Amino acid sequence: MKKILGVMILGLFWCNVVFADLILFCKQEVRLIIEKDNSETINMKQDWKFVITETEIIVPGFEVLYKELMRKNYSETSYYASDKMVADESFIAFHTYIKISRTTGEGYISQTIANTTTKQPFICSTKEPELLF
């Protein structure tokens, strides 16, 4: 009995904590374009797939556009990732971030280029959408 208990305790010391990748399937209905003095809403249906790893959020199919989205410990209730912001003293040249709620699945991609910000809200699920053929 002591040997079994000893083996179990030693086994626990060698165990590692593992973070499994989370895959989310998201649907977008509109895109918001925000400039200094006006904003515009455009109907835009798009499906997104996000792979959330321990260190980053990957957007399969859009790796060039949304690259190096490194996860930050922004909140315990949401996933958050941001790229390296290219900023000048007077304005932000380019910045992208993704935020997804862990509880509701609601989220958005926000992208700022010069003085224009686009916000793409979506709703996510872990269930893969059915393909219609």
Token pair recorded at residue 106: 């609601």
Residue spans per domain, the chain: 22-125
pLDDT digits (tens, 9 = 90+) for 60-119: 988 888 888 898 876 778 888 888 777 666 666 788 889 999 889 999 999 988 788 999
The pLDDT score that the predictor gives to residue 87 is 67
Helices (H), 1-133: 2-14
pLDDT at 8: 67
Ramachandran quadrant class, 52 (left: phi over 0; alpha: psi -120 to 50; beta: rest): beta
For 14-26, give one letter per residue: b (16+ CB within 10 A) or e.
Answer: eeeeeeeeeebbb
Nearest to 60 by CA among 97, 10, 35, 25: 25
Record the tokens describing residue 98, joined without a space: 């993704």
